[in-house]
Structure 1
Amino acid sequence: MLWGQIMDQDGQGVTEQAKVYRVWDRPTRVFHWFNVFCVTTLIFIGFLMLFRGDLGITGLEAKIKLKTLHVWVGYLFAINLSIRLLWGVMGSSSARLSKLLPNFAAVRRYKAQLKQGESPQYLHHNPLGNIAVFAMMLLLVIIMLTGLVRAGTDIYYPPLGGVVSDYLAQPGVAGASLKPYDDTGVDKQKVTQLKPLKSLAGTVHVYGVYLLMVIIALHIAGVILAEVKHQPGLVSAMISGKKRLTRPPED
């Protein structure tokens, strides 16, 4: 913790003292902003894939190229998320996944404090923000897993692509010779058997992203509200790793 002084709009010091706490270590902050980049890029490419016909993007080659680009960015997303999950178990206390677990008693207390006109301050996320972050992390894992399934079943990319292509190949045909969206050498009966799993993964993946977008919007709205009315410095803390509080944190 570092001591600081709250400044008024004219840059003059006022009597209220504040403590500057270190929060959210560098790996956590790097994950957050790189994840923002990956998710934003994936959503953009995903919409290009869904609406490519309306955008005049036609042809099998264009479809495969968009899918391949989506998968490669997805690998960056998956690696980043996997490192974050590992760091959430082995990393510093501010990065621990256990801090993301919802605490509904704390939520009720927080809402009661807001109704009384108070502005409780938190070192990490407030209880409502914590629920949003927990939901986002859970959805990110689901989206990652279903995305890897579709990468393997659509264009035979790792980690499942080799297993899938070997399974779908006709007797005497090497799985590695199969090409995306090409029935040559493919056992159509096995394609039919695999279709329900592929369809389920795709549905969960797409609607998981839609739900993630809703939660992200709510999270951003909550951050803006907190910055303006309750606890300034949330965004800057995710950049600098420091948060200034005028009273002891609730957490």
Structure 2
Amino acid sequence: MSSDAPSIAPRQRGFKLWDAPTRLTHWALVGLIGFSWWSASTGHMDWHRWSGYSVLALITFRLIWGVVGSQSARFSQFVKGPRTVLAYARTLGDRTPSSTPGHNPVGALSVLALLAAIVTQVVTGLFSVDIDGLESGPLADRVSFETGRQFAQWHDWSFTAIQALVLAHVAAVVFYLVYKRSNLIRPMVTGRRRLDADPQLAFAPPWLALLIALVAAALTYWVMKGLRF
């Protein structure tokens, strides 16, 4: 055989990347944040309040899952130091599809920023009071009216931050799809991604996800009751 024969690239196979709890939490947050915006802008404050409680439960679950859940969902798996982030950033101009199994080092910063903005949005909502004092969060009685109004302002600002981060996130997904030829949406729907080799990730058992979900629900109920038993 001639030594000039073209080499054959390894055939990619689909491997499990994202577990069901991670995917369900991701898409539920997408839907609820949109619903929270709609319910507030149309004056359906009862729905807005319940949507906020649901977001609180989901974000609590995701934060705990990011510590003890499946390997690909753990912060320790995808959050990297500045040197690694800069090294990866230098490869963004390369059109070669990304080979990082989960969140890449730059994408991890986007994930952390979104989680921080959502946490801020939820926490500020818990203490917020409207201008007439008719609508308020379950913890608004722990602060003065003036402080509650300040929390309401921070609540608005944090949502603006979420909007900006979502736009940046969508732009990054489009960039990877069009320029880097990497579909980041499909794996978050199916849980599987085509890779050259098995990333050999460890996945947490379903009972652990159920236990954390119960803990998140209990903590949310406690907050709903104003941190009173």
Q: Equivalent of 1:155, from 135, 146, 149?
A: 135
Let me know the Cα RMSD of the aligned residues: 2.7
Tell me the secondary structure at the aligned position of residue 42 of structure 2.
Answer: helix
Q: Equivalent of 2:184, from 211, 234, 239?
A: 234
In the superposition, the TM-score normalised over structure 2's length comes to 0.73
Aligned length: 191
Q: Please state how far the C-alpha of 1:222 moved relative to its aligned partner.
A: 0.4
Tell me the secondary structure at the aligned position of residue 114 of structure 1.
Answer: coil
Q: Equivalent of 1:32, from 26, 50, 55?
A: 26
Choose between structure 1 and 2: higher strand proportion.
Answer: 1
Distance 1:127 1:231 in 2: 18
Q: Equivalent of 1:110, from 70, 81, 88?
A: 88
Q: Map Cα deviations across residues 182-224 of structure 1 (whole Å, 9 max, x no partner).
A: xxxxxxxxxxx81231122111111100011011001011011
Tell me: higher relative CO, structure 1 or 2? Use CA pairs within 8 A at least 6 residues apart. Answer: 2
In the superposition, the TM-score normalised over structure 1's length comes to 0.67
- Matched to 1:86, the amino acid is I
The residue correspondences of 1:10-159 to structure 2 (distance < 5 A) are 16-49=10-43, 66-99=44-77, 101=79, 103-115=81-93, 118-150=96-128, 154-155=134-135, 158=138
Q: Please state how far the C-alpha of 1:117 moved relative to its aligned partner.
A: 5.1
Q: Please state how far the C-alpha of 1:19 moved relative to its aligned partner.
A: 3.5
Distance 1:41 1:87 in 2: 24
Q: Map Cα deviations across residues 56-77 of structure 1 (whole Å, 9 max, x no partner).
A: xxxxxxxxxx222211111111
Distance 2:105 2:181 in 1: 13
Correspondence for 1:179: none
User: Sequence identity, in percent?
Assistant: 26
Gaps of 5+ in 2: 1-7, 200-229
- Matched to 2:81, the amino acid is N
Aligned CA distance change for structure 1 residues 15 and 90 (closer, same or farther; 3 Å): closer
Gaps of 5+ in 1: 1-13, 50-65, 168-192
Correspondence for 1:175: none
Aligned CA distance change for structure 1 residues 247 and 100 (closer, same or farther; 3 Å): closer
